Amino acid sequence: MPPLAMLVAAADPLSNVHAENLKAFALGLGALVIVLVAVVAVLAYLLVVTRRTLVAKEEELRDKEEELRDKDTKLKKRPEILVKPYHIATIGYTSCGKTALTLKWTNPLIDISLVPPTVNPREYEKLVSTQDVGDGNFFFHTYVIHDYPGEEKSAVRDAMQALDIKALLLVVDVAKTETDPNDSTKQVSKFSKAHVENQVKKWNFDALEFLFSQEIQKKCNKYILFINKIDTLQKEFRESDEETDKRAQELYKDVIESLQFLGKKFGATIRVVTGSAQTGRGCPELYKELLTDILPEAARDKSLQYIPDAKDAKASLGPRDSNMIPINL
């Protein structure tokens, strides 16, 4: 019987179910109260749990907001870095050592004897100086060496016209490099007069003039000729370092003279360095040449001692500098 019917029956003192129903009603009411109390308790519990979760989430959000504010402040305080690139193009016939030379400078960890032939033009970057320009800002003076596969004369000229190329590194060599007949994983280099003559013919006056123009001169007025692989010359003739340098320059006399002529005509600085990417001879002089006239004085890190400029070293060409001929200074 529903509680209301029970209540009506119980209220009737004449009803024969009066006492029985009153008891059942009391029991029903008790059960109802218990159920109601239980529901209220569950609801209250849920309310407390939800509130706690909300408070925890709110705290978490506040922490995250604070973290973000912190990061933002740090970001604002971070020095502003501006990369100042100096582009250098390399040119030279296949296997003369362009990649070996540039990699030796930009990434000394590379084993140059295992350098694969360049298939597509590549760029290697080297940070040479960090300049504090005040207000927490820095200039990162970075050299970008553009390395081309051999025989890419037109590509190099196009790049010189299109990019802000500051200097051209022309590499020639005195040795033919071939796969070792006894070990196909190795390369062997041997002095070859015919190989030199071939390059002298290729770098004739017209071919060199192709790399000069008034338009190019506006941006690039430094040309460095590096005569590479002189280790093989020394192995062949067993002469002193100085004699070897002289011999290398003699072999490329025609190219040097043409460059000197073009340098005068177009007002460009021409430098000649002899050396070897394999032994490292001449490499500091070459890299120094890449800095001289290109990296502004203000960009030099005052806390570092630089190798004297080629200009300063001219008067005192010691044994270390003897493989560098200053021209048109």
Ligand X SMILES: Nc1nc2c(ncn2[C@@H]2O[C@H](COP(=O)(O)OP(=O)(O)OP(=O)(O)O)[C@@H](O)[C@H]2O)c(=O)[nH]1
Could you list the residues that contact ligand X (CB under 6 A)? 92, 94-100, 112-113, 115, 117-118, 149-150, 175, 177, 187, 189, 228-229, 231-232, 276-278
Whose CA is closest to 235, among 269, 189, 273, 271? 189
138, 82 Cβ separation under 8 angstroms: yes
State the minimum distance, in angstroms, from the CB of residue 250 to Mg ion. Answer: 27
For the CA atoms of the chain, what is the radius of gyration?
42
Nearer to ligand X, 279 or 328 (CB): 279
Tell the smallest beta-carbon distance from residue 98 to Mg ion (Å). 5
Residue nearer to Mg ion on the CB measure, 99 or 292 = 99
Question: Tokens for 222?
Answer: 């430094």
Burial of 290 (0-12, 13-18, 19+ CB in 10 A): buried
118 binds Mg ion (CB under 5 A): yes
Q: Which is nearer to ligand X, 144 or 295 (CB)?
A: 144
Minimum separation from the CB atom of position 257 to Mg ion (A): 27
Q: How far is the CB of 177 from ligand X (least distance, A)?
A: 4
Q: Considering the rule CB under 5 A, would residue 187 count as an interface residue with Mg ion?
A: no
First to last CA, the chain: 120
Closer of 87 and 281 to ligand X (Cβ):
281
The option from ligand X, Mg ion, none interacting with 281 (CB < 5 to 8 A, set by class) reads none
Nearer CB in complex with ligand X: 153/300: 153
Q: How far is the CB of 280 from ligand X (least distance, A)?
A: 9
CA distance linking residue 7 with residue 29, whole number of Å:
10
* Binding flag, residue 99, Mg ion (CB under 5 A): yes
Q: How many CB atoms lie under 10 A from the CB of residue 61?
A: 10
3-state secondary structure of 71: helix
Q: Does residue 192 belong to the site contacting Mg ion (CB under 5 A)?
A: no
Q: List 173's β-bridge partners, or say none.
A: 228
Residue 151 falls in which region: left (phi positive, over 0), alpha (psi -120 to 50) or beta: left
Residues that bind Mg ion (CB under 5 A): 98-99, 118
